[in-house]
């Protein structure tokens, strides 16, 4: 095979490879190893600690699905928080909502933000001085502890639950997120693959369910993440995402999300649905 190949060792028994043409950037930040490579299939790719975070050609799935499901479930989201998400993709989608007046990004690693602006400007577009956007370089766990009753929607766009993101998958954190939300607020977190991380999904679902009256799991197909089938877990104080009146949703240009898919994403394969039941 000619050319260079990048492999993410997704588990001790599973790898994901793609051919790349160039390494555009590598560095060790105070928090992680950061790289940008240019791949044949997916275009530029952001890699943290040797794990694929996002790529130019499939990022739309993840960023639309982490943001629009919650933002269209809430009837009038005004203030939004994104924890992690330093590439800017989730906040780019959030500020498309006319009701959103302010979107705050709280990313622990400022180098992810700066490198994404330099090499992934299509994804980071809202980070170049957008009037609705505020950027904080800080630990999301701490920010959430210190801001009660602030947000309509909180998205947890985090790395895997190792290193700095460990606290973002803890029961205490979900309790703090509940407090940081307004009385009808909604949270959503990326919660990994049901093929690879079933135990994590089960545990996180139960933890969020112990805090929020409405807790729902939904899926999306993300080709560059382990197994390609990905989950998001939503915790809501009042609104049920499956009952949302999407006829009033703003007309936002998307490539993956549709109102019908919003509802369909909650229809789970049986083995995934099983992860939401107490055993």
Closer residue to ligand AAT, CB minimum distance, 107 or 152: 107
172 marked as binding residue: no
Catalytic residue among 58, 152, 157, 207: 157
Which of 73, 80, 84, 233 touches ligand AAT by CB under 6 A? Answer: 84
Q: What is the Cα–Cα distance from 116 to 36, expressed in whole angstroms?
A: 9
Q: How many Cα atoms sit within 13 Å of 192 on the Cβ side?
A: 21
164 marked as binding residue: yes
Span 132-191, contacts to ligand AAT by CB under 6 A: 139-141, 157-159, 164-165, 167-168, 190
Least Å distance, CB 97 to ligand AAT, is 18
Q: How many Cα atoms sit within 13 Å of 252 on the Cβ side?
A: 26
Closer residue to ligand AAT, CB minimum distance, 92 or 214: 92
Least Å distance, CB 37 to ligand AAT, is 15
x/- mask, ligand AAT, residues 85-124, rule CB under 6 A, reads xxx-xx---------------xxxx--x------------
Q: Which helix (H) or strand (E) holds 18?
A: strand 14-28
For ligand AAT, how many residues bind (rule: CB under 6 A)?
30
Span 214-243, contacts to ligand AAT by CB under 6 A: 225
Which of 39, 54, 115, 215 touches ligand AAT by CB under 6 A? Answer: 54
* 235: its two tokens: 């915790």
Residue with tokens 């369910």: 209
157 is known as an active-site residue: yes
Which of 105, 122, 117, 29 is CA-nearest to residue 66? Answer: 105
Q: Which residues contact 113 (CB under 8 A, 6 or more apart)?
A: 86, 88, 105, 107, 124, 127, 135, 137
Sheet holding 33-39, edge to edge: 4-11, 14-28, 33-39, 43-48, 51-55
107 marked as binding residue: yes
What is the number of H-type helices and E-type strands within the chain?
8, 12
C-alpha 86, offset from chain centre? 10
Which of 45, 51, 154, 244 touches ligand AAT by CB under 6 A? Answer: 51
Residue with tokens 């490579």: 37
157 marked as binding residue: yes
Any idea which residues carry the catalytic annotation? 157
Site residues, ligand AAT (CB under 6 A)? 31, 48, 51, 53-54, 62, 83-87, 89-90, 106-109, 112, 139-141, 157-159, 164-165, 167-168, 190, 225
Annotated binding site for spermidine: 63, 87, 157-160
């Amino acid at each position: 095979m000619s050319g260079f190949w990048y492999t993410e060792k997704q588990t001790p028994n599973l790898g994901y490879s793609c051919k790349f043409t160039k390494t555009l950037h590598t560095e060790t930040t105070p928090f992680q190893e950061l790289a940008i490579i240019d791949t044949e299939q997916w275009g530029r790719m952001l890699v943290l600690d040797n794990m694929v975070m996002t790529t130019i050609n499939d990022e739309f799935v993840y960023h639309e699905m982490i943001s629009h499901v919650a933002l269209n479930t809430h009837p009038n989201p005004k203030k939004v928080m994104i924890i992690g998400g330093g590439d800017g993709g989730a906040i780019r989608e959030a500020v498309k909502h006319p009701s959103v007046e302010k979107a705050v990004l709280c990313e622990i690693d400022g180098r992810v933000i700066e490198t994404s602006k330099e090499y992934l400007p299509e994804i980071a577009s809202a980070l170049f001085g957008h009037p609705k956007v505020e950027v904080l370089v800080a630990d999301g766990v701490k920010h959430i502890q210190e801001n009660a009753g602030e947000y309509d929607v909180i998205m947890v766009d985090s790395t895997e639950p190792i290193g700095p993101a460990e606290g973002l998958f803890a029961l205490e954190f979900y309790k703090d997120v509940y407090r940081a939300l307004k009385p009808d607020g909604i949270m959503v977190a990326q919660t990994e693959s049901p093929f690879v991380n079933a135990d994590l999904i089960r545990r996180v679902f139960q933890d969020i369910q112990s805090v929020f009256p409405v807790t729902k799991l939904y899926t999306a197909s993300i080709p560059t993440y382990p197994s390609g089938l990905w989950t998001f877990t939503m915790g809501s104080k009042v609104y049920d995402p499956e009952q949302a009146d999407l006829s009033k949703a703003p007309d936002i240009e998307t490539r993956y999300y549709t109102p019908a898919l919003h509802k369909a994403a909650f229809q789970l394969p049986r083995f995934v649905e099983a992860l939401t039941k107490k055993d």
